[in-house]
A and B are shown apart, each in its own frame.
Chain A
Amino acid sequence: MDVVNQLQRQFIDNSASLHREGFLDDQFTQLQKLQDENSPDFVVEVASLFFEDCEKLINNMSRALEQQQGVDFKQVDASVHQLKGSSSSIGAVRVKNICVAFRSFCEAQNREGCLRCLQQVTHEYSLLKNKLQTLFRLEKQILAAGGSIPGVE
């Protein structure tokens, strides 16, 4: 039981820090609420989807922005829009905020700005991915140890 408690405490810390640092917001909590016996891995699934989406989109955007002839800002904008939607669905606040800025650069057709945003997005996304994966690992461990995930009824 000690192990479980320790793990749980770690989990709480991690979760709290994620929220505190603004990586995640309330939406993530909502998602956690949706996890029940019918869909036990709901959050993980959503997160995986998110990661996949993100990677795909970031690739798209970088390719589009690297076009020397003429950047198809519409396409970039579409991708950013998608990313924004996804990130807001999962509650990835930071990513979403960058997307907002990204979009305005796209509208202004500012390549430099877009590139910069893309870099930021990539960076944030990686950070988030790591943290979330840590969190999920902890979850698995707790469950394996027979405990319950704290903060989720």
Chain B
Amino acid sequence: MDSCNCIEPHWPPDDLLMKYQYISDFFIALAYFSIPLELIYFVKKSAVFPYRWVLVQFGAFIVLCGATHLINLWTFTLHSRTVAMVMTTAKLFTAVVSCVTALMLVHIIPDLLSVKTRELFLKNKAAELDREMGLIRTQEETGRHVRMLTHEIRSTLDRHTILKTTLVELGRTLALEECALWMPTRTGLELHLSYTLHQQNPVGYTVPIHLPVINQVFSSSHVVKISPNCPVARINSSVKYIPGEVVAVRVPLLHLSNFQINDWPELSTKRYALMVLMLPSDSARQWHFHELELVEVVADQVAVALSHAAILEESMRARDLLMEQNVALDLARREAETAIRARNDFLAVMNHEMRTPMHAIIALSSLLQETELTPEQRLMVETILKSSNLLSTLINDVLDLSRMEDGSLQLDLETFNLYAVFKEVLNLIKPIASVKKLHVSLNLAPDLPEYAIGDEKRLMQTILNVVGNAVKFSKDGSISISAFVAKAELLRDSRAPEFFPVPGDNHFYLHVQVKDSGIGVSPQDIPKLFTKFAQTQSTAIRNSGGSGLGLAICKRFVNLMEGHIWIESEGLGKGCTAIFMVKLGIPERLNESKLAFMPKVPPNLGPTAFPGLKVLVMDENGVSRKVTKGLLVHLGCDVTMVSSSEECLRVVSNEHKVVFMDVCAPGMDGYEIAIHMHEKFTRRHERPIIVALTGNTDKVTKENCMRVGMDGVILKPVSLDKMRSVLSDLLEHRVLFEAI
């Protein structure tokens, strides 16, 4: 028996425990063998498994463990030494492999774990990306919506359509419950519900503009969440309806001229409308950020579109207005033309029709005057004649004036005798003046050309009118008419600042001055004098007749003659001076040769300074008479000598241009001579220039001379140069009182 070398198990083999151990071992071995099989199978299935070597190790370890347990089965009963040996070997191997595996695991388990975490991480990332994708997609969709909305809005220029479209599209895009637009009213104090999405005809529903919620919305450029209970959100008239989330945004109204608010200082220049958007109340939706952004963008676009629409409306309206105005103007023009034509026709007809009977009346009345008449009849005829003359003048004046206003009046330019014109005027005015005991004196400058080119008739009319006025408005006193050629430096008169005459070679400016000592004109009436039909309020004027057209016509004539006319007066009762300057042409020089010998006196001229100038010298003193004569002869004058006043008066004629008389001899009154001479020569331009020669330097003499109407005073003894300059001055200005 002891020779079987068997190993006794520790436990008796027939125990129940043994049995169970036996069974467990068996199953363990089974399991241990099947686990690697499963592993291999599944690893083979999956493509990715990085740790094959570990798997092999692990498989080996498990197989060996299984083997161990399997071999353990034999150790429950008596078993030979070989079995024990195999068992031991198996165990050894298992131990080795398991230790190695354990060591290996230390390395690879962290790896495996990190794989796991990485996987988690990646999953999270994927989820995030998904989310972002979603966001981008929504944004893009929003953008698409905005573009579409904008397109819709901008595709029309009609304001109403724009707004309606906005609301509709917004409502659709954002799935709104209600969308409303509040516009400021004309007064700017209220907001008026203009458009809504679902309500067809928004009732005139207004809220005041200064609500705090509205101010809040207007002061922010973003969308503002507002409470559903505020007035702007309560669109639905039913009280029970409470909308969901409500936002509001301002819509800037750019320069809409429809809403004319001018003088409200508290309003800023920016004016806004209010757009209110309401989400459906039954969905638990919230306003998302992208939706708010959409709303903001849309609001801006709407503003722009509205302004465009407004501008278009404006320009359309302006264009319509202009067209209307055009039509009206055209009509007015046509009417005016018709009126002018009618008036011209009327004038043409009246011209003829009125003048013919007038002419008949005047002609026949004058003829009647020539016949035998009783005094009363004569008086009657005279009155008829006077009245018809007045009427004729009036007709002429009116017709002339209307023609002048047309611009159809033209001057008849021709060469005429200037002196004759003045003579004529004087002749015409003489009778009236003498009746009124007015003294009329005419003083024509010697250098005034005898002939001039201009409109004789109208010039005479002007002078006559001016002189006539002077006579008319003077009760007594004297009237002096003087005419001379205006010198270049005197042409720029400060009294006529707008008058810029240009002296030239072939024309000259005739300066005529009519001074009277009549009732004068007060300074404030002076500007009115030249206006048609305006008369100063004075009974004297009213009694003397006249239509008030005279000066207006004169002014027109003078203007046509490129001149200027003005009146000066120091006041009522101080007389008045009428001055006018007209441009006249200089006719072709008749005696060219004569002019060559008669240059205007330069001071260093030789003896023939005044060739042929007829001079009369009156002096009692023989010596001084001879000396004076010598002087004048030396200057080329033709001198006649007289030694007494009677002789002087006898000899003097209008051929003598200058008379020198000695006034300092006592007992002889040179002054009387001057007076006599004034009486003898009433026309100023015929009378010689009277110059007194005196040895007295006192003022009395000078004043006496001036009083009697002398033109100059010279102190004896006279040097040659002095005489020369005196003569030239005299002949230029016809006045010399400085030679003392």
Residues of A within 8 A of B (CB): 26-27, 30-31, 33-34, 36, 38-39, 42, 45-46, 49-50, 52-53, 74, 77-78, 81-82, 84-91
Contact = CB atoms under 8 A, between A and B. Distances in A.
Given A77-B666, A78-B667, A86 B633 contact: no
A53 B633 contact: no
A36 B634 contact: yes
Contacts of B719: 26-27, 30
Interface string B637-671: 00000000000000000000000001011110000
B623 A30 contact: no
B170 interface: no
A41 to B, nearest CB: 11
Contacts of A27: 717, 719
A64 to B, nearest CB: 15
Given A26-B719, A34-B634, A38-B633, A46 B666 contact: no
Contacts of A82: 620-621, 665
A109 to B, nearest CB: 15
Given A53-B621, A86-B621, A88-B695, A46 B717 contact: no
Nearest to A82: B621
Given A46-B630, A88-B695, A36 B607 contact: yes
A55 to B, nearest CB: 12
A31 B630 contact: yes
Contacts of B620: 82
Nearest to A47: B623
A81 B695 CA distance: 10
Contacts of A77: 666
Contacts of A53: 621-623
A103 to B, nearest CB: 10
B164 interface: no
Contact of B622 (A33, A42, A49, A87): A49
B618 interface: no
Contacts of B667: 78
Interface string B612-634: 00000000111110111011011
A129 B358 CA distance: 83
19 contacts: A31-B630, A33-B720, A34-B631, A39-B630, A39-B634, A42-B630, A45-B626, A46-B623, A46-B630, A49-B626, A82-B620, A82-B665, A85-B624, A86-B623, A87-B623, A88-B695, A88-B717, A89-B623, A90-B627
B159 interface: no
Please provide the 10 A-B residue pairs with the shortest distance between their CB atoms, ordered closest to farther.
A86-B623, A89-B624, A89-B627, A85-B621, A34-B634, A34-B630, A27-B717, A89-B623, A50-B623, A30-B719
Contacts of B695: 84-85, 88
Interface in B678-727: 695, 716-717, 719-720
A53 B627 CA distance: 13
A67 to B, nearest CB: 19
Nearest to B631: A34
Contacts of B630: 31, 34, 39, 42, 46
Contacts of B621: 53, 82, 85-86, 89
B20 to A, nearest CB: 185
Contacts of A52: 622
A10 B545 CA distance: 83
Contacts of A84: 695
B627 to A, nearest CB: 4
A39 B633 contact: yes
Contacts, number: 77
Which of B620, B630, B665, B716 has most chain A Cβ within 10 Å? Answer: B630
B666 A78 contact: yes
Interface in B482-517: none
Interface in B59-74: none
Nearest to B719: A30
Which of B607, B621, B627, B664 has most chain A Cβ within 10 Å? Answer: B627
Contact of B664 (A30, A39, A81, A86): A81
A34 to B, nearest CB: 5
Nearest to A26: B719
Contacts of A90: 623, 627
A36 B633 CA distance: 10
Contacts of B716: 85, 88-89
B288 to A, nearest CB: 123
Given A81-B664, A84-B695, A34 B720 contact: yes
Contact of A85 (B607, B623, B634): B623
Which of B633, B662, B667, B717 has most chain A Cβ within 10 Å? Answer: B717
B720 A30 contact: yes
B716 to A, nearest CB: 6
B717 A81 contact: no
A16 B465 CA distance: 66
A61 to B, nearest CB: 15
Contacts of A45: 626
A70 B720 CA distance: 43
Which of A53, A77, A85 has most chain B Cβ within 10 Å? Answer: A85
Interface string B435-467: 000000000000000000000000000000000
B623 A49 contact: yes
Contacts of A50: 623
A25 to B, nearest CB: 9
A77 B664 CA distance: 12
A85 B619 CA distance: 10
B634 A46 contact: no
Nearest to B623: A86
Contacts of A30: 717, 719-720
A32 to B, nearest CB: 10
Nearest to B620: A82
B549 to A, nearest CB: 60
Interface string B371-382: 000000000000
A27 B695 CA distance: 14
A101 to B, nearest CB: 15
Contacts of A26: 719
B506 to A, nearest CB: 38
B529 to A, nearest CB: 53
Contacts of A89: 621, 623-624, 626-628, 716-717
Contacts of B623: 46, 49-50, 53, 85-87, 89-90
Contact of A91 (B626, B633, B665, B717): B717
A115 B665 CA distance: 22
A85 to B, nearest CB: 4
A4 B89 CA distance: 190
A47 B624 CA distance: 11
Given A38-B607, A46-B627, A85-B716, 19 more contacts: A31-B630, A34-B720, A39-B630, A46-B626, A50-B623, A52-B622, A53-B623, A77-B666, A78-B665, A81-B664, A81-B666, A84-B695, A85-B662, A85-B664, A86-B623, A86-B624, A89-B621, A89-B717, A91-B717
Contacts of B664: 81, 85
Contact of B627 (A31, A36, A38, A78): A31
Contacts of A31: 627, 630
Nearest to A42: B630
B635 to A, nearest CB: 9
Nearest to B624: A89
A82 B643 CA distance: 13
